[in-house]
Amino acid sequence: MILISLLLKLQDIDIGILKAIFENRNPLYDPVLLAITNTAAVLAFGIPVVLLILSLIRKNSVFRQDALLMLIPVALSAIVANILKYAIDLPRPYEIYPFIEKLSVGGSPSFPSGHTADAFAFATAASLVYRKWFVVIPCFIWASLVGYSRMSLGVHFPSDVVGGAFIGAFCASVYIWNAKRQLRVEAQAKKSKQEVPIE
């Protein structure tokens, strides 16, 4: 009973926040938010793919490694998010509440937000690869705006956005941590092999 009561309370908070965001938005900004929401997959997948193509053209192994360190976590995050979407199968807010209008694409189940997962996976991956403030700050501002746009456009609950952000950041962090650890092990093994004296 306590758990059910808590879940109902969290649901009330969820829709309360969404209602406040949706009803207090300025419709003049809807096209801007729609443009931002549409950049999620384009930038999250597009930037690493462009870097990967450039690395292959220039035969630059560092570029290739960086591109893959960003591309693979985004793809992994998208797979996890879509599996969870259909496993949990929650309705979109506009399907339940008549005061929420659908202002953007969104036909799959609601939780988690795939756009937000893509954005935060890329933002986290890019930040961990480059570790520069001029990469980290813009990336996370953009990812946060993508998440906000999904709520303001009526296609996701706040919990969907938080869930998507967590999945994206988690997938990127875990993948890059493991990948960099493997790269260090390989580099150390290569160094040790080179240091073996030839008799």
User: Which of these ranges, 84-93, 144-153, 186-195, has the smallest mean pLDDT?
Assistant: 186-195
pLDDT of residue 182: 87
Mean pLDDT within 162-176? 97
pLDDT of residue 5: 67
pTM of structure: 0.90
Residue 37's closest CA among 119, 108, 109? 119
pLDDT tens for 56-106 read 999 888 889 999 999 999 999 999 999 999 999 999 999 999 889 899 887
Q: And the tokens for 78?
A: 């998208």
Band (pLDDT 50/70/90 cuts) for residue 194 is: low
pLDDT of residue 148: 96
Residue 88 in 3-state DSSP? helix
Mean pLDDT within 152-177? 96
Where do we find the tokens 């908070």?
A: 13
Q: Are 158 and 116 in contact (CB under 8 A)?
A: no
Mean pLDDT across the chain: 90
